[in-house]
């Protein structure tokens, strides 16, 4: 009993001493001290190969990290070849806040094994070997906020704004704004496309649509871990503002290209169509090749390469629905003259009175 009491007394005195020294609450005898959370360790290894690292991590979580680079006989380097582990800090497509540049070879003072302490942030890091001839040794490290690998695609939404009439149609124009968020690795890019089969384009600002008619804007986003959100779309209709415009657009077309002395176009002719409307404004321009070709939207000059006689028809409509009368241009495309690559045949003859 005395022994137990004496031990309690010494425990109390020790606790009081710690508190007096400002060292906080002591750990009770017989209890384990709390263990600090283990820091993340990422290891790259090198070998005799100059086309890839022997091993490299692909994902990590943000926070304090120990980066280890070992290029030794133990990792497969039998020739004493040096390699570097270099993080790219110049390409804005990748994170550039970790200036790692470790040179290691089996014969250095560390035996080819080096480490450095860094703090990783969410996003993508590009790493590579900076030694000339070793450029193929590279890869991407994806860093997420935590909780493991990012497998969730971004959340996307779109909003259509503009003045609407009683039928919900947009008068004059509509503006489509797309937003995307990603709680994991972060949004990498946002794209949009006009129509059901339009090409994808980078989304940088609100898309303004002022062409009268029904429209569809598709959109999607991807994050820095490569997850792509499912395609979504918004549908809306643009109508012309109230107007008393009864005059169709003015249209014209020009044909350009290299011509021969007969006025025929050599190899190709380019047809440029223009339209103007001082009332409600031009809504659409269309063209058709040949007397019975189908009408197509005119978006850029039409280039005709086929040898022969051609007719290109064109027309335009304004936002009030007035359609200009069809017009056309006629021209002929011919093959260029064959280039003469054969030199002349030459000879010489000597004339005059000759002696014996």
Place of tokens 């493991």: 148
- pLDDT, tens digit (0-9, with 9 covering 90-100), for 299-327: 999 999 999 999 999 999 999 989 999 99
The proportion of the chain whose per-residue pLDDT surpasses 70, expressed as a percent, equals 88
- Give me 253's structure tokens: 């077309």
Residue 8 confidence (pLDDT): 52
**What pLDDT, on a 0 to 100 scale, did the predictor assign at position 295?**
96
Above 70 in pLDDT, residue 13? no
What pLDDT score was predicted for residue 15?
47
For residue 191, the model assigns a pLDDT of 97
Q: Which of 3-12, 33-42, 246-255 has the highest mean pLDDT?
A: 246-255
Beta bridge partners of 239: 171
**Overall average pLDDT of the 166-187 stretch:** 93
And the tokens for 320? 């009030």
Does pLDDT of 181 surpass 80? yes
The pLDDT-based confidence of 16 (bands split at 50, 70, 90) is: very low
How far apart (Å, rounded) are the C-alpha atoms in residues 71 and 94? Answer: 25
Q: Single out the residue of 66, 68, 67, 44 nearest to residue 129, CA to CA.
A: 44
Kindly report, residue by residue over 38-66, the tens digit of the pLDDT: 579 999 999 999 999 999 999 888 889 99
pLDDT digits (tens, 9 = 90+) for 215-238: 999 999 998 888 999 999 999 999
The domains located in the chain, with CATH, are 40-144 (2.60.40.420), 155-239 (2.60.40.10), 250-334 (2.60.40.10)
Strand partners, 157: 179
Identify the residue with better confidence: 199 or 37.
Answer: 199
pLDDT of residue 312: 98
Could you tell me the pLDDT band of residue 147, with boundaries at 50, 70 and 90? low
**Regarding beta strands 138-144 and 123-128, do their DSSP bridges make them parallel or antiparallel, or are they unpaired?**
antiparallel
Q: What's the pLDDT band for 76 if we cut at 50, 70, 90? A: very high
Q: Which of 156, 155, 234 is nearest to 195 (CA)?
A: 234
Q: What is the C-alpha separation between 17 and 144, in angstroms, rounded?
A: 45
Give the chain's largest Cα–Cα span: 156
Closest CA to 292 of 334, 332, 328, 254: 328
Query: Quick one: which H or E segment has residue 250?
Result: strand 250-256
What percent of the chain stands above pLDDT 90?
A: 75
**DSSP letters for 85-114:** EEE--S-TTS------EEEE-TTSTTTTEE
- Provide the pLDDT confidence category of residue 36 given band limits of 50, 70 and 90: very low
| Per-residue pLDDT reduced to its tens digit, 89-144 | 999 889 999 999 999 999 999 999 999 999 999 899 999 999 999 989 999 999 88
Whole-angstrom Cα distance, residue 215 to residue 192? 13
Phi, psi of 91, rounded to the nearest 5 degrees: -90, 115
């Amino acid at each position: 009993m005395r022994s137990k009491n004496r031990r309690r007394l010494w425990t109390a005195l020790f606790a009081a001493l710690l508190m007096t020294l400002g060292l906080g609450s002591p750990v009770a005898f017989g209890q384990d001290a709390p263990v600090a959370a283990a820091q993340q360790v990422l290891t790259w290894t090198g070998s005799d190969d100059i086309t890839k690292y022997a091993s490299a991590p692909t994902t990590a979580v943000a926070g304090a990290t120990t980066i280890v680079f070992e290029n030794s006989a133990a990792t497969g380097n039998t020739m004493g070849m040096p390699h570097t582990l270099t993080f790219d800090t110049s390409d804005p497509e990748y994170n550039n806040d970790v200036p790692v540049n470790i040179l290691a070879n089996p014969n250095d003072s560390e035996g080819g094994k080096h480490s450095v302490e860094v703090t990783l942030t969410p996003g993508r890091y590009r790493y590579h070997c900076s030694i000339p001839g070793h450029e193929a040794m590279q890869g991407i490290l994806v860093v997420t906020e935590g909780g493991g690998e990012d497998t969730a695609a971004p959340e996307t939404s779109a909003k259509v704004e503009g003045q609407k009439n009683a039928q919900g149609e947009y008068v004059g124009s509509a503006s489509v704004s797309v937003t995307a968020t990603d709680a994991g690795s972060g949004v990498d890019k946002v794209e949009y496309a006009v129509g059901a089969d339009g090409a994808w384009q980078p989304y940088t600002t609100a898309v303004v649509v002022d062409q009268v008619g029904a429209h569809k804007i598709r959109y999607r986003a991807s994050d820095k871990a490569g997850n792509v959100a499912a395609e979504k779309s918004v549908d809306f209709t643009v109508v012309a503002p109230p107007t008393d415009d009864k005059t169709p657009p003015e249209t014209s077309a020009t044909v350009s290209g290299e011509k021969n002395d007969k006025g025929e176009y050599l190899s190709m002719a380019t047809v440029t169509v223009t339209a103007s409307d001082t009332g409600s404004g031009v809504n659409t321009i269309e063209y058709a090749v040949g007397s019975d070709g189908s009408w197509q939207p005119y978006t850029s000059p039409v280039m005709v390469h086929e040898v022969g006689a051609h007719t290109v028809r064109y027309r335009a409509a304004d936002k009030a629905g007035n359609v200009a009368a069809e017009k056309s241009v006629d021209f002929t495309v011919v093959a260029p003259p064959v280039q003469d690559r054969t030199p002349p045949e030459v000879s010489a003859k000597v004339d005059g009175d000759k002696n014996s």
